[in-house]
Chains A and B, each alone.
Chain A
Amino acid sequence: MYALMDCSNFFVSCERLFNPLLHKKPVIVLSSNDGCAIARSDEVKALSIPMGAPLFKIKDLVKAHDIKIFSSNFTLYMDISQRVIEILDTQGFEFEPYSIDESFISLPDTWSKEELEHWGISLKKKIDQWLGIPVRIGFGSTKTLAKLSNELAKKEPSGVLHVSSIPDAIFEALEVNNVWGIGKNNTNSLNSHGIRTIGDLLLSPEPWLKKTFSVVMLKTVRELKGQPCFLLSSNPEPQKSMVISRSFADDITSREDLSERISIFASRAGEKLRHSGLLTKELGVFIRTSPFKENSYSNSITLPLLHHTNDTKELISHSLVCLKHIFKEGKKYTKAGIFMCDMTDNVKQDNLFEATVTPTPSNLMNAMDQLNQRYGTSSINFGACGLKVKGGMRNLARRDNLSPNYTSKWSDILTVT
C-alpha cells in the first residue's frame, strides 16, 4: 500500500508560518526573477489567477485585492521541506521524497482503510502543529493510484482520501492528463486515438499500448489497474533532459557578459549532472530579448558533444561555441539558458579511439564540488564565469520581495514582543 503526501500551496504555507498576518489573505510566491506566480494561496485560486500567471498581467488584481507578493525564498523552503522529511523519518516506514513538497510512503498491506485514514489524519495533524504546513494524503495500492487520490483529496475536508472511496463512475470519467506520468504530449497522442478518460485507457489492449506508446505507458495503465509496477524510488520518467535558465535582473547587451552568464549555467549543469551520476551528449543554448518589446529576438542551437560528459570545462567551452552561432550585437538580452538532452547514467564508449566514459567525476571536478559544498556555491569556479556575479546562479535574478531567512541567518530570525 502506498501513500502520497503533498504539502498544500507549499511555498505560501512556508511564508505563512513565519508571518501570521498572511493567514486567510491572498498570497502569491513568484518564480525566480519575480516573473510568474508559482505558488498561490486558496484565496488567490478563488480569484481565478492561474498557475504561472506573469506578474505584470495580474498587477491590477494584485492591487484590487491587496494580494501579498513574495519572491521565492528557496533557502527557507528547503529548510522546511527537510523538516517535513525528518518527521516522515520518525514514522518508521520506507519513504521516498519525490519533490520539494511531495513524498511517497510505503505502508503495510495488512492495514485496513480505516487504519490508513487514521494514520494519515494523525500525521497531518502532527505536521500542521509542528510546522504549520497543511498536507494532503492519498492512499492507493500503487504509486499511480496514490498520486491520483492525493489529487482528489483536495476536495476532501479531512485532506485524506483512499482510492477505494472514489466512486468507479467518477474514477473512470477522469481525463487521462490527471494520471501521473501522462504529460501533455502523451495526452494529445492518446486523445488522437480517441482515448480521453481513465475508463478508455483501462479498456485499451495492453500490447497495443506498449507498441504505440512505451513500456512506461503500459506500466502506468497496469498501476491504474492496481498492479504495482513502480516501486519506491522508481518513477515513470527518468530524467533524460534538463534546462537551466534564468531571466536577468538587468538587460545584458555585451557578448562578454552573456558569455559569463552562459558559463555559470554550464557550471551549474555540470554540478547537477555529477550529483545525479549522469552524462550528457547534447547541449544547446538559447537566448532571447523581451518578447513584449519591439524588434524582439530569440534563437537557440543544439550541437552534439564529441562524447558523453559531465565535465564542467567541456560543458563551458561547448556552450560558448553554441553562443557564438546565435549571438547578435546590439540586442538587449533578458533571458538565456542551456539545455541538455540525451542524458544517461550508463557507462559509454562513444568513440572507438577514446577511453570509455563513466559518470564518475574527474579529481578536479570532485575537488571543485567538495569546495563549493563546504564554502558555498561558486566559491571556486572557472574563469569563464567571471567575477561580477557573486554567489552563482541564485544572485542572477531579481528578488525584490524576498522574505527573511528565518531559519538560517541569525540576523533574520523572527522577532517577538
Chain B
Amino acid sequence: MKGYDAVLEETKKDGAIPLYLSTVEAGFLTPTEDFKDGKLDLNQHLITNPPASFFVRVKGDSMVGAGIYEGSLLLVDRSIEAVPEKIIIAVVNGEMTVKRLKKKNGVLVLSPENPAYSDIEITPEREFSSWGVVTAVINKV
C-alpha cells in the first residue's frame, strides 16, 4: 500500500488523478462515529415509568373493539390514576379484568368493547378496585 504522500507525488508526475484518491475509506471513520446512535429500544419507547410497569396477558374477546385480542400482551402502569375513558385492569370480586372505565349517567361502569358483552356497573355490593392503567397493547401479526 502506498502512502498518501507517495500517491500525491505520483499524481503530480503524470498529471492524472487516480480514482481511489477520492474515496479514502479511512477518512470516513471519525464522522460515522459521531453520528452513531443507540439501537431503537422498545422498552424505552413504551415504558415511561419502569418501577410501576407490569405486563399481563389477555384471555377472552371482550375488548376486541380496542384492538385487544385473545393473547394480546398489555403494558400496565400502576402509577397512572384510573379516570373515566382509560382502559384499566380492574379487580372485581377478586377477578382481574381489562375494560374501559366510563361514567354513564353519573355511575362508573366497566365497559367492554364488544357488542356481545354488557357493561359491569360498579356498585357498592361489588368489591372493586383498579389494579393499573393499560398504556400499550402488543399484538403479533
**Interface residue tally on A, bucketed by range:** 20 to 34
Q: Is the CB of B59 within 8 A of A415?
A: yes
Binds A, one of B20-28, B29-37, B48-56: B48-56
**Interface residue tally on B, bucketed by range:** 20 to 34
Q: Is the CB of B51 within 8 A of A86?
A: yes
Q: Is the CB of A415 within 8 A of B57?
A: yes
Indicate the member of A84, A132, A416, A417 with the most B CB atoms within 10 Å: A416
Who on chain B is nearest to A414 by CB? Answer: B56
Chain B residue contacts of A298, Cβ below 8 A: none
Contact digits for A105-145, partner B, Cβ 8 Å, 1 yes 0 no = 00000000000000000000010011110000000000000
Q: Is B118 an interface residue (CB 8 A)?
A: no
Q: Is the CB of A130 within 8 A of B78?
A: yes
Q: Which of B54, B79, B89, B94 contacts A406 (CB 8 A)?
A: B54
Q: Is B83 an interface residue (CB 8 A)?
A: no
Q: Is the CB of A417 within 8 A of B52?
A: no
Q: Is the CB of A413 within 8 A of B57?
A: yes
Min CB distance A75 to B, Å, is 15
| Distance between Cα atoms of A416 and B132 in the complex (Å) | 12
Chain A residue contacts of B78, Cβ below 8 A: 129-132
Indicate the member of A21, A84, A131, A417 with the most B CB atoms within 10 Å: A417
Min CB distance A355 to B, Å, is 44
Contact digits for A60-103, partner B, Cβ 8 Å, 1 yes 0 no = 00000000000000000000000110110000000000000000
Main secondary structure of the interface of A (DSSP, over half): helix
Q: Is B58 an interface residue (CB 8 A)?
A: yes
Min CB distance B66 to A, Å, is 13
| Distance between Cα atoms of A23 and B97 in the complex (Å) | 17
| Distance between Cα atoms of A358 and B109 in the complex (Å) | 66
Chain A residue contacts of B50, Cβ below 8 A: 83, 86
Q: Is the CB of B52 within 8 A of A130?
A: yes
**CB-CB under 8 A for A417 and B96, given A20-B131, A130-B78:** yes
Q: Is A407 an interface residue (CB 8 A)?
A: yes
Interface residues of A in 297-326 (CB under 8 A from B): none
Min CB distance B87 to A, Å, is 11
Min CB distance B36 to A, Å, is 25
Q: Is the CB of A417 within 8 A of B57?
A: no
| Distance between Cα atoms of A87 and B49 in the complex (Å) | 10
Q: Is the CB of A20 within 8 A of B96?
A: yes
Chain A residue contacts of B98, Cβ below 8 A: 416-417
Contact digits for B88-101, partner A, Cβ 8 Å, 1 yes 0 no = 01010011111000
Q: Which of A86, A130, A132, A414 contacts B96 (CB 8 A)?
A: A414
Q: Is the CB of A87 within 8 A of B56?
A: no
Contact digits for B44-79, partner A, Cβ 8 Å, 1 yes 0 no = 000001111011111110100000000000100011
Q: Is the CB of B129 within 8 A of A416?
A: no
Q: Which of B59, B60, B129 contacts A20 (CB 8 A)?
A: B129
Chain B residue contacts of A132, Cβ below 8 A: 78
Chain A residue contacts of B91, Cβ below 8 A: 20
| Distance between Cα atoms of A86 and B129 in the complex (Å) | 25
Chain B residue contacts of A20, Cβ below 8 A: 91, 94-96, 129, 131
Chain A residue contacts of B57, Cβ below 8 A: 413-416
Who on chain A is nearest to B130 by CB? Answer: A129
| Distance between Cα atoms of A132 and B33 in the complex (Å) | 45
Chain B residue contacts of A84, Cβ below 8 A: 51
Q: Is the CB of B79 within 8 A of A129?
A: yes
Chain B residue contacts of A21, Cβ below 8 A: 94
Who on chain A is nearest to B56 by CB? Answer: A414
Q: Is the CB of A417 within 8 A of B55?
A: no
Q: Is the CB of A131 within 8 A of B51?
A: yes
| Distance between Cα atoms of A131 and B94 in the complex (Å) | 17
Contact digits for B112-133, partner A, Cβ 8 Å, 1 yes 0 no = 0000000000000000010100
Known: A20-B96, A132-B78. 19 other contacts (CB 8 A): A20-B91, A20-B129, A86-B50, A87-B51, A126-B79, A129-B79, A131-B52, A406-B54, A410-B55, A413-B55, A414-B56, A415-B56, A415-B59, A416-B56, A416-B59, A416-B74, A417-B58, A417-B62, A417-B95
Chain A residues with a Cβ under 8 A of chain B = 20-21, 23, 83-84, 86-87, 126, 129-132, 406-407, 410, 413-417
12 A-B contact pairs sorted by A residue (CB < 8 Å): A20-B91, A20-B95, A20-B129, A130-B51, A130-B78, A413-B54, A414-B55, A415-B96, A416-B59, A416-B98, A417-B95, A417-B96
Chain B residues with a Cβ under 8 A of chain A = 49-52, 54-60, 62, 74, 78-79, 89, 91, 94-98, 129, 131
